[in-house]
Structure 1
Amino acid sequence: MTEGKRNIIHQLLEEYDIQTAEDIQDALKDLLGGTIKEMMEAEMDDHLGYEKSERSDNDDYRNGYKRKRVNSSYGAMEIEVPQDRKSTFEPQVVKKRQKDISDIDQKIISMYAKGMTTRQISETIEDIYGFETSEGFISDVTDKILPQIEDWQNRPLDEVYPILYIDAIHYSVRDNGIIRKLAAYVILDINTEGKKEVLTINVGDNESWDLCFVIILLLQTVVRTLSRQLFFYTIRYFFLLFLYISRQQKNP
């Protein structure tokens, strides 16, 4: 830790009389609010074309502040948003109608991916951050990623993938109140530019040679030169490689 950082910490301890972890959270919340305000002041300067202490012939000018309640990683807090007379100021640090600055969407998606129900997610967020989120809001957040998933599934593929890696990832899911195991078959490719990317993910009940073979045939119909360029490296599926090559030799 640098000397400058130590000095900042000492100043914080003295300024906020920090004694507990909760005091630290309160101090950080206050600093966050102050930092946001200063950044918005700079945005207002740029919007009006002159600083707060300067004079100008501009017919638009500062018109006080408006308090706004937002949810942050340190809990709910109020910030002061500078206003202009013509109401043309559009802050970018915290945009108009933005009520959340905690990246809570990503946290919700992460908890949802781990199998938590909407009610469990709502209760967890309230316990950690101190603000309520309805189950409907959580469902809206998780639904936002569906178009992104569809775009990824329908993206165009290259004609040649020199190297493919195949393996299965096992995880537990809740299905009608019952926890069961599923296997996600992941095909990772290295393209002709030497970059790694996930080619496809298919979910099945268990590790299955038939499902793996179907996935390969599906890829072969999409990627025209796959059968000529294919190379697999995997510990679990070396037998699948042998089976695939044998069938290719019988049916070139």
Structure 2
Amino acid sequence: MRRGLCREGSLIGIKDDRPREDIVRTGAELARLAESERDLAGQLVERARAEGVNLVGENGLLKGLVKLVLEGALEAEMADHLGYEKGDRAGIGSGNSRNGTSRKRILTDVGAVELDIPRDRAGTFTPQVVPKHTRRVEGFDEAILSLYAKGLTTGEIQAHLAEIYDVDVSRETISKATDKISAELDAWRQRPLDRVYAVVMIDAIVLKIRDGAVANRPVYIAVGINLEGERDILGMWVGTGGEGAKTWMAWLSELRNRGVQDVLIACCDGLKGLPDSIAAIWPLADIQLCVVHMVRNSLKYASTKHWSQIAKELRQVYTAATADAAEARFAEFEAEWGARYPALVAVWRRSWEHFVMFLRFPPEIRKIVYTTNMIESLNSRFRQATRRRGHFPNEEAALKVLYLVIRDRQPNRRNPTGRTHNWKEAINTLAGYYGDRVTDNQ
């Protein structure tokens, strides 16, 4: 049986091949130990309060506990390495023995802690809890990444750590911690995807990125809903703003090469070349334009004093019961506004074929595909994380922050990943429309 410090921070980690009944007994023992540890923690907190000792800070209780736990784990590792406990006479003449300690300063989630690292005379002891040359314990980098994901710059993270943890962390150290996410980002962007997606939504957010000079650059986001109703971000790409069919073909081919062989419904903005590229990559896909984007794009051609009235009347168009009813309502809209705002009407006429696609579906499907609101919810989180940064030095830095936002799954916030609401109704309806493309892949 090995003892050490688990990642979660408990004192004992067990790995052995004992009979199940022994493991069950050990589980009960650990439960009692955990209960006694909680009691001890409560007693320590109460004692700290009574004696006026702070929980945090240079001489705080938490730092003392971290030091106690880590040094205890190191001593347990040394005992395993030598084969006998400290002070045990069994070590006499064993050929190797303890040789004092060396002082090491490490960064933890509660600040800098000074540790006494045990040494052996043969110099063969290699600690695992605090490996050689390590200056930070696991968890501290995660704290840095969390701050980075919230939009703090390297300098702001440095100042925050100095204020909260009373440690001076160099910008180089912070950069190394954030650079570690690059490999994880690359693996995420290359991971295999499902074979069939019921819905794929594509939208963009604009960020300021330096490429010689600082410029507005779109970052395109693709979100998919698979046949189980699970939402997932499929990919991210940094564009130039002038993407055409060739670029879209390359990006969508990337999704196909990662496993996406069929898409039932593709919901997107009217980006140049995108609908044709979707049709080329997934010929059977129904292409639906995002109604919210169509309304916004058309309002650009109208005076702000008319926005409220126009939006109200357009709502009657895109909530019509059938395509014929929508056509009749839009004819009335065109008769009223066409002469004053012909460009506004043209936005809808040019996109009418893809706009009415969703009107053939019942409400269960319309709720899912008529808008890219799910991506826009994600974009709002992206904007919170990127607003204060001003601009990014390169594309990689921008994608790292967006990926950390995606990875940060906070239970109290709507997350772009997870289950789609009322999916059973929706998938039954989709099976009725798409038949074997649904039923053969579930």
- TM-score, length-normalised on structure 1? 0.72
Q: Distance in 2 between matches of 1:14 and 1:39?
A: 24
The answer to whether 1:24 aligns with 2:74 is no
Residues 1-252 of structure 1: pairs in structure 2 closer than 5 A? 5-6=38-39, 8-14=41-47, 17-19=50-52, 23-25=54-56, 26-54=60-88, 55-56=90-91, 57-101=93-137, 103-153=139-189, 155=190, 157=192, 160-166=195-201, 168=203, 184-190=220-226, 197-203=232-238, 215=248, 218-220=251-253, 223=256, 226=260, 229-232=262-265, 238-239=288-289, 243=354
Q: Distance in 2 between matches of 1:46 and 1:108?
A: 33
> What's the RMSD between the two structures over aligned residues?
4.2
- Structure 2 contact 199–267 (Cα < 8 Å) conserved: no
- Structure 2 contact 79–85 (Cα < 8 Å) conserved: yes
Change (3 A) 1:9 1:151: closer
> How much does 1:27 deviate?
0.7
Count of matched residue pairs: 238
**Larger strand percent:** 1
Quick check: which has more Rg, 1 or 2? 2
Q: Distance in 2 between matches of 1:102 and 1:171?
A: 34
Change (3 A) 1:164 1:43: farther
> How much does 1:142 deviate?
2.3
Q: Partner letter of residue 150 of structure 2? A: K
> How much does 1:128 deviate?
1.3
- Provide structure 2 residue ranges, at least 5 long, that are not aligned to the other structure: 1-34, 270-286, 292-352, 358-442
Higher mean C-alpha displacement, 95-104 vs 29-38:
95-104
Change (3 A) 1:105 1:8: closer
- Structure 2 contact 199–225 (Cα < 8 Å) conserved: yes
> How much does 1:47 deviate?
0.5
Q: Distance in 1 between matches of 2:155 and 2:171?
A: 6
Higher mean C-alpha displacement, 144-153 vs 88-97:
144-153
- Structure 2 contact 220–236 (Cα < 8 Å) conserved: yes
Q: Partner letter of residue 73 of structure 2? A: M
> How much does 1:44 deviate?
0.8
Higher mean C-alpha displacement, 112-121 vs 68-77:
112-121
- Structure 1 contact 169–184 (Cα < 8 Å) conserved: yes
> How much does 1:105 deviate?
2.1
> How much does 1:243 deviate?
3.2
* Greater RCO structure (CA 8 Å; 6+ sep): 2
Change (3 A) 1:181 1:27: farther
Q: Distance in 2 between matches of 1:174 and 1:82?
A: 49
Change (3 A) 1:27 1:156: closer
> How much does 1:233 deviate?
7.8
Q: Partner letter of residue 19 of structure 1? A: G
Higher mean C-alpha displacement, 218-227 vs 51-60:
218-227
Q: Distance in 1 between matches of 2:231 and 2:125?
A: 44
Residues 49-77 of structure 1: per-residue CA shift (max 9 Å, x gap): 11223213420111112121111222212
Q: Distance in 2 between matches of 1:40 and 1:47?
A: 10
For the residue of structure 1 that corresponds to 2:224, the secondary structure is: strand
Q: Distance in 2 between matches of 1:179 and 1:217?
A: 23
Residues 225-247 of structure 1: per-residue CA shift (max 9 Å, x gap): 856x312486989425973998x
Q: Distance in 2 between matches of 1:77 and 1:179?
A: 44
Residues 64-103 of structure 1: per-residue CA shift (max 9 Å, x gap): 1212111122221211111111111111111111111262
> How much does 1:108 deviate?
2.4
- Structure 1 contact 167–186 (Cα < 8 Å) conserved: yes
Q: Distance in 2 between matches of 1:173 and 1:113?
A: 16
Change (3 A) 1:188 1:158: closer
Query: 2:337 matched to which residue of 1?
Result: none
Q: Partner letter of residue 195 of structure 2? A: V
> How much does 1:45 deviate?
0.9
Q: Distance in 2 between matches of 1:89 and 1:245?
A: 71
Higher mean C-alpha displacement, 57-66 vs 25-34:
57-66
For the residue of structure 2 that corresponds to 1:162, the secondary structure is: strand
